[in-house]
């Protein structure tokens, strides 16, 4: 089974982000990067499928040169080879633009399964995976925790996937390969990177493709106006009235203002 995992490089969890002078993106100098966590789970799922059923795991990622570090990490954890879609203006492209790049690079590989994280930790749009599925004309499912191959015939397989719904409900679905699944964090235990993995990764193939050569438009369909850092707010409100009135007012506020209930 040929599985492609699309991964994204995002600023490290503890990165201190500052908005750059354009007001439309963050300053990238001095940032440290890591693999987007849901993508790490997608990779883990792919590696476990390969361990059970055999096949090949290919990672694909788009972004500037620095992305190769995250690609190496994926190879170190056990992916067999990689495709790096070199693109220096990733921040300027919207989800559709990025999905177009990925779809164009993935198409010639005709994978049996495409996995990617449910969403990215930086933008959190949650769209890229499903748009790629649409562009490739493949069935897809999102919010997946576990994937299982239930029947296999040649390269065709029947896939069973477990989705997480609201309030502790789960849904089990089946779909035929080839398919696209977007994976959410927590379904598996991630493996740690090892020195041996990193050394072995050095000899694995990383094919670079330039965004400009893929023949897709760089013009975004969504115009980004500005980004802002969340405002730190401390406001104290005193709720007056009897205990019952105050409690009712508190529930009201928690529900509709703070939205935590």
Partner 1 sequence: MIFALPTLAEPRHFSLAEKLLFLALAAASVWGFWRRFGVVLEKILEAKKDAGFHLFPIGRRGREFLWEVMCQAKVIRQRPLPGLAHAFVFWAFCAFALVTLNHCATILGIGFLDPDGFAGRCYFYFAAVFALACAVGILGLFVRRFLARPRWLGEKLSWESGLIALLIFALMATYLAAFFVSDKNPAAKALWWAHTLTLLAFLPVIPHTKHLHLVLSPVTVFLSRGGFSRIPPLSGDEDFGLVAGKDLTQLVSLQAYSCVECGRCTEHCPANNTGKRLNPKQIVLGLRGYLNEFGPSSDEPLLGKYNSQQAVFECTTCGACEFQCPVGIEHVPILVGLRRGAVNTGAWDDPHGAKLFLALERGSNALGFPLAERDRFIEKNALPLYDGTQEYCLWLGCMGGYDPKGREIILSLVRVMQHLGVTFGVLRKEKCTGDPVRRLGNDLLFQQLAESNMEALKQSKTKKIISICPHCVRTIQEDWKEYGTPPEIEHHSEFLARYADRLPQQQSREKIVFHDPCYLGRYRNVYDEPRAVVSLAGKLVEAPRHRERSFCCGAGGGLAFLGEETGERVSHNRAAELASTGASIVGAACPFCNTMFRDALAAQGAGAPQLLDIAQLAARTLPQDNST
User: Given the rule CB under 8 A, which residues bind partner 1?
Assistant: 12-14, 16, 32, 34, 37, 189-199
Please, what is the Cα angle at 199 between 147 and 110, to 5 degrees?
A: 40
Smaller CB separation from partner 1, 26 or 198: 198
C-alpha of 90 from chain center: 15
Nearest distance in Å: CB 130, partner 1: 26
Sign of the CA dihedral with 26 first, then 32, 37, and 42 last: positive
Smaller CB separation from partner 1, 193 or 227: 193
Nearest distance in Å: CB 139, partner 1: 32
Smaller CB separation from partner 1, 232 or 257: 232
Q: Which of 191, 180, 177 has the alpha carbon at shortest distance from 127?
A: 180
Helix ranges (DSSP H) in the chain: 37-53, 67-77, 95-106, 128-136, 195-201, 243-256
Smaller CB separation from partner 1, 4 or 49: 49
Nearest distance in Å: CB 48, partner 1: 13
Do the beta carbons of residue 136 and residue 103 sit within 8 Å?
yes
Smaller CB separation from partner 1, 202 or 259: 202
Nearest distance in Å: CB 35, partner 1: 8
Nearest distance in Å: CB 76, partner 1: 8
């Amino acid at each position: 089974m040929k599985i492609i995992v699309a991964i994204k490089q995002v600023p490290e969890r503890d990165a201190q982000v500052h908005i750059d002078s354009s007001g439309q993106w963050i300053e990238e100098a001095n940032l440290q990067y890591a693999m987007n966590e849901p993508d790490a789970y997608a990779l883990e799922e792919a590696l476990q499928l390969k361990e059970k059923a055999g096949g090949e795991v290919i990672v694909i990622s788009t972004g500037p040169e620095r992305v190769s570090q995250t690609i190496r990490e994926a190879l170190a954890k056990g992916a067999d080879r990689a495709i790096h879609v070199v693109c220096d203006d990733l921040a300027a492209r919207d989800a559709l633009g990025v999905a177009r790049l990925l779809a164009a690079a993935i198409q010639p590989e005709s994978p049996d399964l495409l996995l990617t994280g449910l969403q990215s930790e930086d933008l959190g749009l949650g769209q890229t995976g499903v748009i790629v599925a649409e562009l490739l004309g493949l069935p897809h499912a999102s919010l997946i925790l576990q994937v299982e191959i239930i029947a296999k015939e040649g390269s065709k397989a029947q896939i069973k996937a477990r989705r997480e719904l609201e309030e502790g409900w789960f849904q089990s679905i089946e779909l035929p390969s080839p398919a696209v699944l977007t994976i959410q964090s927590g379904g598996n235990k991630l493996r740690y990177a090892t020195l041996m993995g990193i050394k072995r990764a050095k000899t694995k193939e990383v094919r670079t493709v330039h965004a400009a050569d893929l023949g897709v438009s760089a013009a975004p369909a969504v115009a980004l106006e500005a980004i802002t850092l969340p405002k730190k707010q401390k406001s104290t409100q005193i709720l007056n009235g009897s205990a019952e009135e105050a409690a009712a007012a508190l529930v009201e506020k928690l529900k509709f203002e703070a939205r935590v209930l």
